[in-house]
Amino acid sequence: MLAVAAQMLQLHRLALSKAMKQLHFLLLTAAVIAYLFDSVAGNNRDDAFIGYSERLECLDRLDHCGDRARHARCLTDPYNMRTFCPISCAVSKCMSTGTLKVRHVGFATEEDTLVFAQRWAARSTGEQAYLHLNNTHPNFRRRSIVGSPLTLSSLGVGTYLGDLDSRTDDAVAAAVIHSVVNGWNVIDTASNYRWGRAESSIGAALDSLLAGAATRDFLAEQQYFSDVTRSMLFISTKAGFTDEALVRELVQAKQLDRRAASGGHSMAPAYLVASLNASLARLNLQTVDLLYLHNAAEMQLKQLGWPAFRVKLKEAFEAFESLRAAGSIRSYGMATWDCFRVPPSDPGHVNLEEVVAVAKEAAGGGPSGFAAVQLPISASMPEAWLQPWQRVDNESVTLMRAAERLGVAVFTSGPLGEGELLKRLTSHLDPVVQLRAQSTTAQKLLQLARSTPGHSMASTLVGHKTREYVEANTALAGQAPLKEPEFQEAMLHVKAILGGGDGAASTR
């Protein structure tokens, strides 16, 4: 009898042990699921990640990644967090897209770009500065873009250069996140930058940054006070340089004549529309604030001559007006390198007044969506503010003055001369008194470029990826640009240092 009882007790213990193990397994499984859900949704950005799911090969490598993510470390420390906490920060390479993924809606607005500037000022200088902030904080400028007064940072993120690899993709995404969190709300790219990977990197950054479309969506929820919305950011891209795969697709569909896409560039409306649609998919956006026609004059004007080029320009602008009406873009412009910086005697010269006239024709004679030009301005490329090579109302004026009179914003590129100026001027700018507040050569060059005088001056775009440079460059947001007399005096010193030489020409 005792033997039977002992055997029954042993069986009971085994059954209880098995049940406990099953219960422990279920509890552990539930905890893991809860952690993964908490890690992804912990940033309160559920809408940004609709349709995503985790891949098992991607693992967080730091303790308490979920908690760090909930405390916004994915945004304030993107370089470390995206590397060591990819699941908690929802890094795109660790996620698989699902069928429910939606694009970010919205566009830059007067209300939210101002809110962005106010919030940044509050964080950097205290609550009192937020409550009494004048709209002209030194880091920001109010510029009218097609009738909408936007508050734009004086420096913006460019995404031109870089290798075609995943490491560069991650670095660009981290740079965009860090720049926005530190007071830059202008982001620029192009369909051909890094063969579309630049746009995809920005898309990944936006998925991490954006909490929604507009600030008003969160007015009742104080925990969203520091979140970034789509309408706080001014995002531009470019179309014109051709993607052969896209060209073949359009030619096969009989939507494009191959001759209209020869030489690596096209102004054909069908190609420009298809290029924008591909850009929007990579950026994961429904609308871009500004679409540039990319280096059209540099690529086609000399071969065509102005009359034929003007016809193509009008057709391109008509396509852009249609895209505006459809809500895919808010405005358009021309991204250039030489055409607005060379004298009228040069066959590559373009007069801005004539371009604005073409845009007005494309809009049917009424107000057009032509809003901006982009061109290089740097220590070695002063033509836009120095040379009176434009004509407005039969008067010779500089490009900056022409843009101001025509209501066109100017976004500038190439402040570091694509790295060449850094090589030439490292330590040589130290004696320039007006630039002593900046510690690095890159900061000094950026300070010069963003201080370009003129009421049409919007933002200076700089490409940066390495953490050291991104942190140094974004620190400039806390400093005011030079006043015009200081700028002119500094440029006299810089010209002497450069020996009066001009920067090397480039096309991008």
Secondary structure (H, E, C), 275-311: HHHHHHHHHCECCECEEEEECHHHHHHHHHCHHHHHH
Backbone angles phi, psi at 398, to 5 degrees: -75, 165
* Tokens read off for 349: 């010269």
Contact 40, 87 (CB under 8 A): yes
Helices 166-181 and 197-209 sit at what angle, rounded to 10 degrees?
40
d(CA 167, CA 162): 10
Look at residue 58 in the predicted model and tell me its pLDDT: 80
Residue in the structure block whose two tokens are 């609709």: 50
Residue 45 neighbours by CB distance under 10 Å: 21
Domain ranges of the chain: 122-498
Q: Which residues contact 419 (CB under 8 A, 6 or more apart)?
A: 161
> Which regions of the chain are under pLDDT 70?
1-57, 95-101, 125-136, 218-226, 500-508
pLDDT for res 220 = 52
d(CA 409, CA 389): 18
98-144 confidence digits (pLDDT tens)? 444 678 999 999 999 999 998 888 777 655 444 344 555 788 999 99
Just give the CATH number of 122-498.
Answer: 3.20.20.100
C-alpha distances in angstroms, 406 versus 311, 319, 322, 373, 453?
Answer: 21, 22, 22, 12, 16
